Amino acid sequence: MHPVSPNDAAPRRLAGGLLLGCALLAMLAMAHHPHAHGGGDRLAALARIAGPNAVVHGALLVLLVALVVLLGEFAAARIREAALARAGQVLFLLGGSALVLAALVNGFAVPALAISMAGQAAGPEWTPMLRFAWQLNQAASGFGVLAWAAGIAVLSVDLVRRRGPSRWVGVYGLVAGAAIIAAVGSHQVALDVRGFGIVLFALCLWQAGAGVLMLRRAPD
């Protein structure tokens, strides 16, 4: 997919519509993230929700890859400072790669382990493995969220210099990016299902705004 020029109206608007749609679909998918309820038998609880868990994480993986590509198109079409555009693209790629790892661990690797137990009770010997899987997920999702938020803030530095809607999207990006970095970096927000959902919602709002900017006829 070639970078979209600001003057290529049809491809730019298509990329903008896809960016807006993917952002909204990501929020919808996260809203349907299942919760494991099973008392002390964690593996049995994970096995019960393995199906819907795979569907949600699979959808998020597809949307995540699409967002990385589409945000690259947004940076090429709407960010005037080339250095900021490149930095944002690199941060989205790094963050997206880490979030893919986190989704693969929680969405597929751990549920597959739970299913392989075939209903057997999880003994204490499984505790270290489950803890490692959780810590791997948290490390990957934490890095991914921080890099993604930094990418949004970097692109927003260029947007706040404009007039009209671009400036408001930029202001939101700077505030949201800084708030997410501070909250997640200081461990004030835990990236469990609820915490990650809140962070994802905040990130997707900016991405939806970026999609709307791509749909506009010309930059502000």
Phi, psi (rounded to 5 degrees) for 112: -65, -40
Residue 44 is predicted with a pLDDT of 76
pLDDT mean over 3-23: 82
Residue 133 is predicted with a pLDDT of 92
- Cβ atoms within 10 Å of 196's Cβ, excluding its own: 24
Residue 196 is predicted with a pLDDT of 96
In a domain, 4, yes or no: no
Residue 22 is predicted with a pLDDT of 97
In a domain, 3, yes or no: no
DSSP 8: -
Residue 113 is predicted with a pLDDT of 83
With residue 38 as reference, give the H or E element that holds it. Answer: none
Instruction: Flag whether pLDDT at 115 surpasses 90.
Output: no
pTM: 0.89
Q: What is the domain extent for residue 180?
A: 9-215
Q: 126 vs 24, which has greater pLDDT? A: 24
| Average predicted confidence (pLDDT) for the chain | 89
In a domain, 2, yes or no: no
CA distances from 186 to 2, 142, 151, 156, 216 (A): 38, 11, 19, 23, 37
Instruction: Flag whether pLDDT at 96 surpasses 90.
Output: yes
In a domain, 112, yes or no: yes
Residue 175 is predicted with a pLDDT of 98
Closest CA to 156 of 68, 98, 75: 75
Instruction: Return d(Cα 156, Cα 47) in angstroms, integer.
Output: 42
Instruction: Flag whether pLDDT at 1 surpasses 50.
Output: no
Instruction: Flag whether pLDDT at 43 surpasses 80.
Output: no
Instruction: Return d(Cα 101, Cα 107) in angstroms, integer.
Output: 10
Residue 3 is predicted with a pLDDT of 55
Instruction: Flag whether pLDDT at 6 surpasses 60.
Output: no
Number of domains in the chain: 1
Joined tokens for residue 171: 């202001």
Residue 37 is predicted with a pLDDT of 67
User: Contact at 8 Å (CB) between 75 and 85?
Assistant: yes
pLDDT in tens, 130-177: 889 999 999 999 999 999 999 999 999 999 999 899 999 999 999 999
Instruction: Flag whether pLDDT at 24 surpasses 70.
Output: yes
CA atoms within 13 A on the CB side of 144: 22
- Cβ atoms within 10 Å of 147's Cβ, excluding its own: 21
Burial of 166 (0-12, 13-18, 19+ CB in 10 A): buried
In a domain, 43, yes or no: yes
In a domain, 220, yes or no: no
- Cβ atoms within 10 Å of 61's Cβ, excluding its own: 18
C-alpha angle with apex 127: 122 to 133, nearest 5 degrees? 110
pLDDT mean over 73-98: 96
Residue 118 is predicted with a pLDDT of 61
Instruction: Flag whether pLDDT at 23 surpasses 90.
Output: yes
In a domain, 1, yes or no: no
Would you place residue 201 in the very low, low, confident or very high pLDDT band (cuts 50, 70, 90)? very high
